[in-house]
């Protein structure tokens, strides 16, 4: 099958979606399909994005997968590229199926309309962007996008909608989405998911604030308001008197510089100062393995689709503290962590529960999570389910696979 995968951005600073696209592409290629990934970039980003792509594909065991990048024009958030449009116009009929990642950018709706006009089945993965919390943010911008780009009108007529879990699907119950719903999570490549090198000694060398025998709590995601980092800091401040040796490590990806200042200012306040380390990079690569030598993983987001960071932490054997909007009830169902409200009180109670456990009890919790991920979240199994969704979307139940000359 010739599969066209369209994403608004493949820069690593955008967090999980580019890694999901890579997981889909590599695993689908491993099943004999021919995926082509198309995305937009700012002019100065191409080398960095291509390096991230090639290194990520290589680590996942893939090779020579096509990535086509087109420069976007201002305003950046609009997601508009004349070169992208020309590519879609000229080549969309060469593909058997279109898979769009995201919602609001012009390029995504344009690709969907052109696929529909060419009779090519297509689906989209909203990645949590249609959750009610997300729809309330920047509401006027999204209304403009819907009016000017016909965003919601286009996506409401997609052949399929790929939700990452049932709770995300439920968040769209007030919307008119006519496409067949497919609930398929994210995955990991087990063969590349090692424990990493180093550990607490390495972290202590890089950041002396992490020294000591207390527990290290890891936040590992983008510096973005939806991730609830300030609530995590406030909850941590509440439990610090009871657990004075505990430390919070924020190993994050730079994205929102104004919000980063808010986070750093909160971390400098007396109730947590000296107990918080923040290392933020534009690429997500850090001076040490963030997962090595930590005891607890925490993500207290106000909205998530299916967090790659959570399942990676689970695979590493860490007990997890997550918020309800992370949409992963399995965490409490199998007993590999706690689910809390994304409030100061909720986070504090969750931290108190995990920090009160013995090291052995936390290891047992983490082991349950690792087992579940290995059994349910491999990219190959995800690709098999995507493949079935692609077949089902075609009007006849079968796609006559196209071949390239």
125-165: per-residue pLDDT in tens?
Answer: 999 888 998 888 777 677 777 777 788 889 899 999 999 99
DSSP calls for 329-383:
THHHHTTSEEEE-SSHHHHHHHHHHHHTS-HHHHHHHHHHHHHHHHHH-BHHHHH
64: three-class secondary structure by DSSP: coil
Least confident of 60-64, 284-288, 392-396: 284-288
Residues 244 and 231 in one domain: yes
Rounded alpha-carbon distances, angstroms, from residue 85 to 88, 109, 123, 143, 243: 5, 11, 18, 22, 56
Is 399 contained in some domain? no
Residue 25's CB is within 10 A of a number of other CB atoms, namely: 28
Residues 176 and 221 in one domain: no
Beta carbons of 323 and 339 less than 8 angstroms apart: yes
Residue owning tokens 């510089």: 257
pLDDT of res. 35: 97
Is 404 contained in some domain? no
C-alpha to C-alpha distance for 289 and 305, rounded to whole angstroms: 25
Residues 203 and 326 in one domain: yes
Residues 53 and 161 in one domain: yes
Nearest by Cα to 219 from 270, 260, 277, 305: 277
pLDDT of res. 197: 42
Residue owning tokens 């919602």: 103
**Percentage of the chain surpassing pLDDT 70?**
89
Is 346 contained in some domain? yes
Residues 350 and 202 in one domain: yes
Work out whether the CA dihedral 191, 194, 197, 202 comes out positive or negative.
Answer: positive
Residues 249 and 335 in one domain: yes
Residues 366 and 285 in one domain: yes
pTM, entire model: 0.84
Residues 172 and 286 in one domain: no
Residues 363 and 382 in one domain: no
Residues 108 and 58 in one domain: yes
Residues 22 and 44 in one domain: yes
Beta strands in 201-312 (DSSP E): 216-219, 247-253, 276-281, 296-299
pLDDT of res. 405: 38
Is 320 contained in some domain? yes
Is 398 contained in some domain? no
Residues 173 and 229 in one domain: no
pLDDT digits (tens, 9 = 90+) for 25-42: 999 999 999 999 999 998
- Give the number of domains in the chain: 2
Please report, for the domain that includes residue 218, its CATH number.
Answer: 3.40.50.2000
Least confident of 8-12, 137-141, 336-340, 376-380: 137-141
Is 402 contained in some domain? no
Is 87 contained in some domain? yes
How does residue 208 score in pLDDT terms, banded at 50, 70 and 90? low
Rounded alpha-carbon distances, angstroms, from residue 183 to 160, 319, 385: 10, 25, 9
Q: Which structural domain range is residue 310 located in?
A: 190-376
């Amino acid at each position: 099958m010739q599969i066209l995968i369209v994403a608004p951005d493949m820069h690593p600073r955008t967090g999980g979606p580019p890694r999901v696209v890579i997981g889909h592409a590599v695993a689908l290629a491993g099943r004999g399909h021919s995926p082509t990934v198309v995305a937009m970039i700012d002019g100065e980003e191409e080398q960095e994005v291509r390096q991230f792509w090639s290194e990520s594909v290589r680590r996942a065991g893939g090779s020579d997968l096509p990535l086509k990048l087109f420069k976007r024009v201002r305003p950046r958030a609009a997601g508009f590229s004349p070169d992208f449009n020309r590519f879609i116009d000229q080549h969309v009929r060469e593909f058997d199926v279109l898979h769009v990642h995201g919602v609001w950018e012009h390029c995504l709706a344009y690709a969907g309309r052109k696929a529909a006009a060419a009779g090519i089945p297509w689906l989209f993965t909203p990645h949590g962007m249609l959750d009610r919390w997300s729809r309330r943010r920047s509401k006027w911008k999204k209304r403009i996008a819907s009016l000017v780009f016909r965003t919601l009108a286009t996506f409401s007529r997609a052949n399929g909608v790929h939700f990452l879990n049932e709770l995300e699907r439920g968040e769209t119950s007030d919307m008119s989405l006519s496409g067949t719903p497919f609930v398929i999570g994210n995955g990991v490549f087990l063969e590349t998911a090692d424990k990493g090198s180093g550990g607490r000694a390495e972290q202590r060398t890089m950041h002396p604030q992490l020294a000591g025998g207390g527990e290290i709590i890891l936040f590992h995601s983008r510096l973005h308001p939806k991730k609830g980092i300030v609530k995590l800091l406030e909850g941590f401040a509440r439990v610090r008197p009871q657990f004075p040796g505990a430390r919070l490590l924020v190993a994050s990806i730079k994205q929102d510089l104004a919000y980063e200042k808010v986070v750093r200012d909160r971390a400098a306040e007396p109730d947590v100062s000296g107990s918080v380390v923040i290392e933020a990079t534009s690429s997500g690569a850090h001076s040490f393995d963030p997962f090595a030598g930590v005891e607890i993983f925490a993500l207290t987001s106000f909205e998530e689709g299916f967090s790659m960071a959570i399942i990676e932490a689970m695979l590493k054997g860490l007990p997890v503290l997550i918020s309800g909007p992370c949409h992963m009830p399995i965490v409490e169902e199998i007993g590999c962590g706690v689910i809390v409200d994304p409030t100061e009180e909720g986070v504090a109670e969750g931290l108190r529960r995990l920090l009160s456990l013995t090291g052995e009890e936390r290891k047992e919790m983490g082991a349950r999570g690792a087992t579940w991920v290995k059994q349910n979240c491999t990219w190959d199994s995800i690709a098999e389910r995507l493949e079935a969704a692609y077949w089902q979307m075609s009007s006849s139940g079968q796609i006559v696979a196209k071949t390239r000359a």
